[in-house]
Amino acid sequence: MHYNIFQMIEAQGLRKHKGGCHCGQVRFEVTAPVQVTVIECSCSACQKRQSRYFLVEADRFILLNGHGQLSTFGSSHQKHSFCSKCGVQSFFIPSSGDHTASVG
């Protein structure tokens, strides 16, 4: 019997979500629920960017392209990564300390 890994993931209520920056230099993939709960951050920086994101476990986040294209700033706990070409922040590592990534 043959199993398709994507069918097995979807049977668990999960699916692959793909995303990235505007110019396409940074691409990522996450395995997350079919329907995600989006968080709207209330900090001034996120409000200016109209940032909305959802959390995934770090081991379910894969950076496919753009390792050399990312500019990063933040504290030792929270890392904000932006595409150095178009400036879009596609994801960040939150300061919650629970091994998650935030995808927006």
Residue 39: the pLDDT is 78
Summary count for the chain: helices (H), strands (E):
2, 9
Q: What is the DSSP letter of 84?
A: T
Instruction: For the domain made up of 5-103, give the CATH fold.
Output: 2.170.150
> What's this model's pTM, rounded to 2 decimal places?
0.70
Round the average pLDDT of the chain to a whole number and report it: 77
Could you tell me the CA-to-CA distances from 58 to 23, 44, 68, 95 in Å, in that order?
Answer: 24, 26, 20, 13
* pLDDT at residue number 27: 94
Instruction: Kindly report the number of other CB atoms within 10 A of residue 39's CB atom.
Output: 14
**Contact indicator for 54, 40 with CB cutoff of 8 Å:** no
Average pLDDT over residues 73-96: 77
| Residue of higher predicted confidence among 83 and 76 | 83
Distance in angstroms (rounded) separating the CA atoms of residues 55 and 9: 18
Please report, for the chain, the start and end positions of each structural domain, with discontinuous segments joined by +. Answer: 5-103
What pLDDT does 80 receive?
A: 75
Dist. CA 46–CA 84, nearest whole Å: 19
Identity of residue 33: P
